[in-house]
Structure 1
């Protein structure tokens, strides 16, 4: 059976003061190589774009290469072949088409209304993600009234806090590309282990049977993992993931070590 380990970066594989930041800590690189030597494929699923992920891999001491890079909340799905990044064309083309349509139908009209009423202190739009900072002089209660319809729109995954409005299309998520991997490449949910630390990681964890997290993970992630038979590490960041995977091996030794 094909086995796949999927890891988030920030707060999961990365963190804890190891420098440079954009590089796997050596102990995590060694962990990934042990997995690879034991017949596991591995992948990265994060908000970074695939090119940034690949540079991190090349800058690290890891000998093995990821089989897949998933970037920008599932916007991009890339497989690695002979050291080359190859986009999974059908998936990526569909995603870009959906994002273009979403920009035209939802995002641009929303930005237009916001800018008419509250010109932004700063506006960033990466298509898959946006950030709108209101001026400190704007009245918060008036902003909240204007934003109410967007905050309650099921097509949007958005948040407003301390004068900062941000979010993404609701159809994007870390689990979208994982489901595509399952469909296209013959992985079974029972043969996938996901590692993450934030609420956004729950989307990919729901696609697989085994999930792990480090001690620094948010409480909702810890609660989900505990309720679904996963393992919460006692250590933080990469060390916690390595520890949690070891406990998963103890529990599922016949399968995880296979």
Structure 2
């Protein structure tokens, strides 16, 4: 579970293709969002949260006025994960991104620096420093479909994550592929109606043959505020509600 939550936390911190696709947009947030807190409850009904519901975990995201994610926190019982992100721009183009967080009490710093950029591909140098254990990689961000499909892969061609956007610039499909030590890869497919997210389908696919559990499929349905951001998400598995998530969103004035 911790590994899955870590993957979810990292989703909003992936390399962006510029201001047109900021972290806030990637998370489906509209308007000038300053912060967003998501709290997951385990005992639910469709209309409201029961008074005796139990909180499973909470996520808090903070954004700058560009819409870039600057800090993300996850609370899961006594476990707390905090990510901080810094950005460096030149001529409106993202040049460098630095993430800091702790993993199993080990401080980790990841920097991604833009090496080259063309209409079809960005090349990034990534350096991961975990208390002196340094690993350097080259990441290739391949763009297609007029920039609506982004695939990040390593030098060996292994796909790390994939993003597809619809004609309105909304995230339509997302795949997060972790390493062989993780339990699942994550795959989201979003369905929109009049630019509003109405159904999100999540697939948790186990890495076989190391993990033999069957893939899990979840469907999510939404309620929205006047900014067309969802404020309640109902998670359904096998036709039954298993939890809901409530959002508290603060906007820049």
TM-score bucket (shorter structure):
0.3 to 0.5
Q: Indicate the structure whose relative CO is greater, using CA pairs within 8 Å and at least 6 residues apart.
A: 1
- Larger strand percent: 2
Pick the structure with greater CA Rg. Answer: 1
TM-score normalised by length of structure 2: 0.33
